[in-house]
Homo-oligomer: A and B are copies of this chain.
Amino acid sequence: MSKKSPYSITSSSASPSIWKLAAFGIGALLTSASSLVAQHEVDDDAADMAPIRISGNENAFGYSQMAMMAIMEDLPNVNRYAFTEGQVLREALAAREGVPTDYIIATGGSGPILQMAALAIAEPGKNMITVAPGYMQLTRTFEAAGGEVKTIPVNDKLGYDLEAIKAAIDENTVLVYLCNPNNPTGTKIDPTALKAFITELPESIVAFVDEAYLELADGGLEENSMIDLLKAGENIIIARTFSKVYGMAGIRVGYGIMDPEMVKKLRLYHMGGPNRLGIAAAVASLADTAFFDDSVMKYRAVRKMVTDKLDELEIEYADAQGSFVFIKTGIPIKFFQSLMEDKNLLVGRPFPPYLDWCRVSIGTEEEMAIFLEEFENVMIAQGKLAAN
């Protein structure tokens, strides 16, 4: 295999630990996988190292080893559709969320939930409200379906301005999109304020709460999720994903939670559930609470390491409640990206209108130490920081 192959194995890969697997009697499988990883690492020339990828909000800590095993166990069945298995996943998700199974739609990542909602709800003459900078997947589909989008700037803390959103609502508003924490700013919405906001929305308006990163916020899902409002009958759709805390971005599993009547509307645009290996991995991940806890702990620890350093350097950033930090560099983002790429670091893309800020995803502790060092060097070289 060529070094240039996209299938070469990177250093931030999940590395199996054998003791956990012995209980399943298939340790040999992962011992082999482990050797394979090691072999590729030895083959790699340090001078030709893969760049540090802190650009796409991926989980650098890997994913559950139980999920990897579940994938391996299911490999002989790739030729079969996942009819039964998809139902098993929906049941597991429903149990986790404390809702009936017909409240769940599982998809390839949570993106399709956003887009299905847009297609189900958008109409010419109707509008939705979102924020800028914000995550655009729902917004773009809403426009493609003929709806109008009203965009409200984030407030001076780069957070949601719920009063301004409320003021923008008119008789043609059908949806409010709330990504919490917001991507790319990372700020979260105060749960009490958000509950009041949603409760006061006219019944006809859908509150779409995208909780992709919410496990990582202070207080986690428990203190911040709007699921209780859904259970209480509010007109809400909640989206979640296995791409972030669970570290399964590449295998595409996400889901939406909503009233069964809303499920029916969205299902008209459903383009298919997750693939069966993703399903197997998701079911296993739900059971692997040790991985989940470890992932949350690592994210929070490394995020704090980054923000502590930014504090020390007196660099401005938005309150970081997700798997990334939005940093004011004062350098045009395209240029900043190229400066960091010269240091073998891939950082986040432009998020208008904050074009001299940069979203940096949380990598491993080692990766972020390298980032912070190179970041400081670049900021000094560009005259944004005084040299020590």
Contacts and interface: CB of A to CB of B under 8 A. Distances in A.
Contacts of A70: 7
Interface stretch (A191-199, A273-281, A368-376): A273-281
A79 interface: yes
Interface stretch (A30-38, A221-229, A231-239): A30-38
A305 interface: no
B144 A14 contact: no
Contacts of A32: 26, 28-29, 32
A15 B78 CA distance: 12
A271 B252 CA distance: 11
Interface residues of A, number: 75
B14 A280 contact: no
A39 B25 CA distance: 10
B71 A7 contact: no
- One complex includes copies of this chain to the number of 2
A62 interface: yes
A250 interface: yes
A249 B81 contact: yes
A294 to B, nearest CB: 14
A135 interface: no
A388 interface: no
A75 B36 CA distance: 11
A6 B88 contact: yes
B10 A77 contact: yes
A272 interface: yes
Nearest to A28: B32
A270 to B, nearest CB: 9
A115 interface: yes
Contact of A112 (B35, B119, B247, B272): B272
Interface of A: 1, 6-7, 9-10, 12-15, 25-26, 28-29, 32-33, 35-37, 39, 53, 56, 58-63, 67-68, 70-85, 88, 107-109, 111-112, 115-116, 119, 140-141, 144, 243, 247-252, 268-269, 271-272, 274-278, 280-281
A-B pairs, 7 with minimum CB distance: A13-B76, A250-B276, A144-B268, A79-B247, A112-B271, A252-B275, A29-B32
